[in-house]
Structure 1
Amino acid sequence: MNYSIAIDLGASGGKMICAYFDGSQVNVLDEYRFNNIPVNFLDNLYWDIFGLYKEIISGLTKFGKKFGQAESIGIDTWGASYGFLDIKGRLLEPVYHYRDDRTIGVLKEMYNIIPKKEVFDLTGCQCERSYTLPQLFATVKDKERSLELADKMLLLPDLLGYFLTGEISTERTIAGTSALLEASQEGFCRTLFDKLNIPTKILTEIVDAGSAKGVVIDSTAKKTGINKAKVISTVGHDSAAAVVGIPNFKKDDLYISIGTNVSMGTERNKPCINDEFYNYGFKNTGGLKRKIILYKDFAAFWIVNELKNEWKQKGKDYSYEDLIKLAINVKNNNSFISLEDEDLNSVGNNMQEKIDDYLIKTRQNSLNSDGEYIRCIFESIALKIKYCKDNMEKSIGIKFNDTYVINGGSRNELLNQLIADVLDKPVKAGMPNATLIGNMLTQFYANGYLKDLDDIRFASSKSFDMKYFIPNSSKNWGEILDIAINKKIV
């Protein structure tokens, strides 16, 4: 049996599945899950990269011992994170967390050298401080010796692929979300590197999603039992991987991927770059088969997770199901938060206080129960989605056809219903592991079992069901959105 292994790393945990394609459907054989716990020391925040790699090896070993030789492996991760290699191929320093404080205030300094609009025109991307570009600029600004010593830079899925194969390359879609590529997504934006004094010697060859990176090194092949499996440069950017596998997804459809963040958008054939796209904060990145994904991203369950962890420290250990039940019982929420507010996106264990301060600052009603906080966040997510959807339609000059809610947030039926209510249109929700499935389907494409995107999405429709949510609300969400826009809270 020719089975493949998909590895997806998210900000809070990792997931691995092994599966095979029977000519019609995806058949999942087994899974492996693990936590992703950042490490804080000497006032810096890092990803535990070797801990994550150790878990990947454990997952490969589980599958190898159970099923033997694997045909291929693919890795996708969140964007932004990277590692430097020295001339001997050794990791130079720990991998920084994208919310590490070293980038606080760095965007302002970067835009003093090259204006934000020029960055967008050059790259099709609009940075948050967590993105790769401002992180690299921070190393230049601080004159960090690691940048001087670095021979190559690998973004996270390519770094982990290097650990498995010893091969060095940069997959196009993960580079596209870094703000380091030209808007065309064809090559690195060397104009940007020159203006910000970032050395181009660290850059590697760019390869397409769906190409082979190499094979697993001998020691790992023997240790895990997967033998000399190919490592595929799958769609390395997790959001783009999720888009690959949406059942029957087509032109002028809207995807809403919900997890730690929301990534929402649509596929186009060329970058969308003009003043209107810029003013609404939209970004362009790459997808499978050189598609361009026009998207907007913002915080979602990051804020819920911060509250959940804070409450746990106070003795209230809620499950997600508990939180949803609390929110369902709240009937009259009239308060909303901006999911892009800088304070709400900063690390720390005082999210409830940050929300309280935000509501005072924006002259909104206070929240008086845990359920009210969660309901406020859910409704704020739904309202932000409507705001972005309306502006995206206006900017492109279309009306979206079908709307798909995918990834972990698709399990949240309350949120799915709120999205349908706020958009006032039916929503299809499902594929809680859309990123993993898109990763896997890209491998099946690379291995010759599927011939193109239409073939991939048809196979997905044969393998996975979506649930429909029909609008059913007495609230005037259009009026609520107008008020939120006037108060600048979306």
Structure 2
Amino acid sequence: MSRFPRRAPAPRTFRRKASDRNRMHTGGPMRERAQHMLAVDLGAASGRVVLGRFDGERVEMQEVHRFGTPIVEGDGHIRWDIHAMEEEIRIGLQAALAEAPGVRSVSVDSWGVDYVLLDADGSPVGLPYCYRDHRLDGVMETVFETVPPEDIYECTGIYSWPFNTLYQWVADSEEGLQAAHCLMMADYFNHRLGGRRAVEVSLASTTQMMDVHTREWAAPLMRTVGLDPVRWPEIVPSGTILGSVHGHPDIAVIATCSHDTALAVAAAPAVDPDAAWAYISCGTWSLFGVERATPVVTAEALAAGFTNEAGLDGSIRLLKNLTGLWVLQECAREWGGVAWDALEEEARAAPSMGVVVDLEDPRFLHRDGMEERLLDTLRENGSPLPASRGALCRLIVESIADSYRRALIDLERVTGERIDVLHLMGGGSQNSLLCVLTAQACNRPVAAGPVEATALGNALIQLRTLGALPQGVSLREVSARSCNVRAYRPSGQVL
């Protein structure tokens, strides 16, 4: 029995929706009466403001502003420059309004776990820390002395990563940081645009402070580790209208799924009702998992490293957090910002070294010195060193694909269900070498796309919230009509 009592959860239903049609939207003129909505997608590496146009059948996404996610490094810490981010968001909003004055709504999404401390007046208490900050070293282990990880998992469904919000907030408390309110990153910017203070359920679930069974704050757990749940606002369902944009009363601020991965999964063009599918949302991180009606909080799931995050319409995203393009991104940065296309071509031309590296090793979590850490790992393992930059890039890509292979084995074992197809979405879906190697490593067909799955999911949920989707048409049907999906076979064939 759990040591954290809870009220009985309200009944929930969850139903997968499918269609038998998959069409690509190639752009072109939109109908004059098209619906317009704005998706602000904040990633750990870059942010984008994307204008969505819906013509009644398909969504066309147009990026109107892109920026590098601003960070501030100093005093041995890494922080997010939320003031610069807000300015970039407002630049994007103005660009979108110049393009389409009739924008009906806007929604911000972001990565998970990081949050903003606010004073009684609602102003930020300094700049928020980045989840890669070294201040978190050893905090999780200290919490485990009070609450065993098994109890935390049974209550929250979330696997214990050192950077989870729960441990970040404990670190803040130990530093004496005081706040009247707390908001997750995307929810903070939705609030700054004009929405009320609230935390959307998919983002709340990443904190490891939400009860996965009731979808309310796990107040007993929070109090046990010395945290005050009163500082966090209500948890709201996906698709909640929070208010309107300051100065633009006709533009609704909507909490779609504030967590980027939840949006990508919502937009997965999985329209074959007979194919059991898993998703890989590949950006800085890779999230590998399946959509379920109920959480899996067994000892086997915990031992295998699975986490249960909230999804759209009461669903659970049973997934593994894996390293995505992060290591490659860091190497590219250290090499002076080499173009991605060039690195992929070099990797494709290089022969396989016949070895892989465990990219889940904690040594690869932090910035700087990434190439040397890779080489050190190879030396420690007695493996040969790459003969070229392309060989090192291929090693990284092969290691990512191998992590997917191992995750698939674990997923099928924990759920007892075989996966027929992998939907690989996000930035990683543009890397054809990664797609080919993933299909071969997993021995499953890979459906690659959409690239901007998060922004598309954001726009689709806004449409549904506003009642703008045709009756009887599902998000996945519209997504399948709106994007180009490439199929990669384990044989290496590309369709």
Q: TM-score, normalised by structure 2?
A: 0.89
**Correspondent of 2:155 among 122, 125, 131:** 122
Contact 1:131 1:178 survives alignment (8 Å) = yes
Give the secondary-structure state (helix, strand or coil) at the position aligned to 2:145. Answer: helix
**Bigger mean CA offset, 330-339 vs 397-406:** 330-339
Aligned residue in 2 for 1:363: 382
Amino acid across the alignment from 2:354:
N
Give the secondary-structure state (helix, strand or coil) at the position aligned to 2:53. Answer: strand
Match status 1:421 vs 2:443:
no
Give the secondary-structure state (helix, strand or coil) at the position aligned to 2:385. Answer: coil
**Bigger mean CA offset, 25-34 vs 434-443:** 25-34
Amino acid across the alignment from 1:333:
M
Aligned residue in 2 for 1:482: none
| Alpha-carbon distance in structure 1 between the residues aligned to 2:213 and 2:396 | 35
Contact 2:48 2:66 survives alignment (8 Å) = yes
Aligned residue in 2 for 1:476: none
Aligned residue in 2 for 1:320: 340
Change (3 A) 1:354 1:29: closer
Contact 2:217 2:229 survives alignment (8 Å) = no
| Alpha-carbon distance in structure 2 between the residues aligned to 1:454 and 1:173 | 23
What does residue range 53-452 of structure 1 map to in structure 2 within 5 Å?
53-142=86-175, 144=176, 146-147=177-178, 150-165=179-194, 167-184=196-213, 186-218=215-247, 221=248, 228-248=250-270, 252-312=276-336, 317-348=337-368, 350-450=369-469
Which ranges of structure 2 fall in alignment gaps of 5 or more residues?
1-32
| Alpha-carbon distance in structure 1 between the residues aligned to 2:127 and 2:371 | 31
Amino acid across the alignment from 1:48:
D
Q: TM-score, normalised by structure 1?
A: 0.90
Change (3 A) 1:451 1:96: farther
Give the secondary-structure state (helix, strand or coil) at the position aligned to 2:418. Answer: coil
Aligned residue in 2 for 1:484: none
Moved over 6 A (4+): 451-454
Q: Deviations over 1:229-271 (max 9, x none)?
A: 1000111110111000111356831001111010110100000
Report the CA distance between 1:364 and its aligned residue. Answer: 2.2
Contact 1:425 1:471 survives alignment (8 Å) = yes
Report the CA distance between 1:472 and its aligned residue. Answer: 2.6
Report the CA distance between 1:29 and its aligned residue. Answer: 4.8
Amino acid across the alignment from 1:192:
L
Q: Deviations over 1:263-318 (max 9, x none)?
A: 11010000011011011000001111111100001212111111111121xxxx52
Aligned residue in 2 for 1:32: 65
CA RMSD of aligned residues (A): 1.7
Give the secondary-structure state (helix, strand or coil) at the position aligned to 1:449. Answer: coil
Amino acid across the alignment from 2:41:
D
Amino acid across the alignment from 2:355:
S
Amino acid across the alignment from 1:408:
G
| Alpha-carbon distance in structure 2 between the residues aligned to 1:378 and 1:156 | 30
Higher helix share goes to which structure? 1
**Bigger mean CA offset, 358-367 vs 94-103:** 358-367
| Alpha-carbon distance in structure 2 between the residues aligned to 1:335 and 1:58 | 46
| Alpha-carbon distance in structure 1 between the residues aligned to 2:415 and 2:459 | 31
Report the CA distance between 1:452 and its aligned residue. Answer: 9.1
| Alpha-carbon distance in structure 2 between the residues aligned to 1:415 and 1:442 | 29
| Alpha-carbon distance in structure 2 between the residues aligned to 1:202 and 1:14 | 28
Give the secondary-structure state (helix, strand or coil) at the position aligned to 1:352. Answer: helix
Q: Deviations over 1:96-138 (max 9, x none)?
A: 1111111012111121121222211111001222221110111
Give the secondary-structure state (helix, strand or coil) at the position aligned to 1:458. Answer: helix
